[in-house]
Amino acid sequence: MELVKYITLSHNNKDYYSYKSASNIEMSILGQFLFSEVRNDISFFKKWFFDELSDSASNNCTILEKEDGFILIRDMYSEEEEPTQLKLTYAQFLQILNDWEEKVIQLKPKEVIIKHENDQFIFETKD
């Protein structure tokens, strides 16, 4: 039986979310990408995703790459010899952006839990 991977983020009452806990480095990278890079606007990342000429992007703390039908996200400042990366299908990446917009940006819940189970990322929110 596969363990459920997760990240928990909490709202800090300034329209931003911060890290609370994560089950592993990959989920921590996902949280970092969402609360530090995407924040309240997914438009840059959707534009990048659909730009066929752009294979990589970086912002404050994460690096994104398109590779063989996957999106790879890694921590720009990793101290690991071989940096851990989160590997997402294109469909997973778009679904995460859409869920972040619909369930987090628009609703602004007090807590967000993102679970990775059976190749799906599930957003749960609490007020």
pLDDT digits (tens, 9 = 90+) for 44-97: 999 999 999 999 998 889 999 999 999 999 999 999 999 999 999 999 999 999
Identify the residue whose tokens are 């890694």.
Answer: 74
pLDDT value, residue 23: 95
pLDDT in the model for residue 2:
60
- What pTM value is reported for the model? 0.93
Q: What CA–CA distances, in Å, run from 84 to 8, 19, 43, 48, 87?
A: 19, 18, 26, 22, 10
Are 83 and 61 spatial neighbours (Cβ–Cβ below 8 Å)?
no
3-class DSSP state for residue 11? Answer: strand
At how many degrees (to 10) do helices 43-50 and 90-99 cross? 160
Residue whose entry in the numeric block shows the structure tokens 């609370």 = 20
